[in-house]
Amino acid sequence: MTLETLEYTEASLPPGSLGLPIVGESLEFIKNKNFISDHQKKYGNIFITSLFGTPIVFVGGGDEVNFILSNENKFFQAFPVGNVKSLLGEYSLSLQTGETHLKRRKLILKAFSPRRLASYQETIHAITQSYINKWAKTDSFKWYDELRNYTFDIASKYLISLDNGSETKLCEYFKSWSNGLFAIAPPLPFTKTRKSLVDRKKLIKLVDEIIQDRLSSSQTYDDALFHLMDAELEDGEKLSVEEVKHQILLLLFAGHETLTSSLCSLCRNLSLHPDILSRCKEEQSNIPHNPDINQSSMPYLDKVLLESMRIVPSVVSGFRKVLKECEIGGYKVEKGWLVFYQIDFTHYNKETYPNPHSFNPENFNPAEHKELVKSSNYIPFGGGVRECIGKDFAMLEMKIFASSLISQCDWELLPNQNLEYDLVPLPRPKDGLITKLRIN
């Protein structure tokens, strides 16, 4: 079935327009930054278009998105866009499918066991305190830039036992590599994509040197790299060095870039809502310094964290390829199409959240919302077999950071800055969230 012969007058197909032959609606998509929202107003939360020669179904809504995420390998398959495949590497967990993906995921999950996370609290507290002390001595700083270094220090320590990772060449190459990860442009000379590919080689070389040192040493490490090198699959086979390198790149990205976005959003939301911050401070005043997060009761902070990830999820959308014809929300979706699911749209469901664009931790308070965090209307970490593998690590780090910051510091956002978000590749305040901070 070609784009030219596909008829959108059929009731069973999603509403929408293919636009021009081959080109589809690509030109309008490029020119109109409100392309998606305009189409949603016109067609509803499910519509079809054609971009760059491919029919794409845009999908929002908890049940509909949950259907996509929970039917991996049956109706849908992960689909990397742009230069993701060449930059992550063919062995990356995010690109693997079927049984291979499930077996690798099960193995990697062991690196994030509750025991390992509990033992890492002290390290996160120490790194957090060092950054708070640094920020207090600075006239002003961009929270996004600083949090990028902060999360890299924590991730590199946890994953490869590297101290002060943000001050190393590894971080320099990593930032360049990740900046091009979702770029669409081909790797032509002087492009972001080209530099990203060049620095990926340097990054892989540094990771390989660490692995080779481990292979020639009898020393043991309590980090994710040691686990990946030592772990065995169900048939007794071990991961190759090449695959280990690719998985470490993915884990660095997942434990760094997405968490940076979430923490920056938390700081922004607390800054813009002093009444909520005041309640957080009151709660923290009754909690000891550097608490055991797993043993401390912080119910209001828990709600604030959940709401912050609702209103600005660190990953707002994703693609899947349709493996088999199916129905989404009552509409027929053809094999070979792409579906573009929208987490942010799902989080703004008015039936679930009465004022969806307002920051309100009480969304997670009423009795009828007790199961909300388990429902298809709240998916900040995705869902199904591709749910974020480090979500417990992320929540631990966010809670330690928030508890330390709120209990020790006062801060203010400096005037004359743009607080709106750039959403691509990941949400971040346009001017980086320029801040002045002091310790109480």
Q: Which residues contact 409 (CB under 8 A, 6 or more apart)?
A: 132, 135, 136, 437, 438, 439, 440
Q: Is 171 annotated as a binding residue?
A: no
Q: Which residues contact 331 (CB under 8 A, 6 or more apart)?
A: 12, 13, 14, 46, 57
Instruction: With beta carbons less than 8 A apart as the criterion, state whether 429 and 418 touch.
Output: yes
Q: Which two tokens stand for residue 414?
A: 């400096």
Annotated binding site for heme: 388
> Which residues participate in the annotated binding site?
388
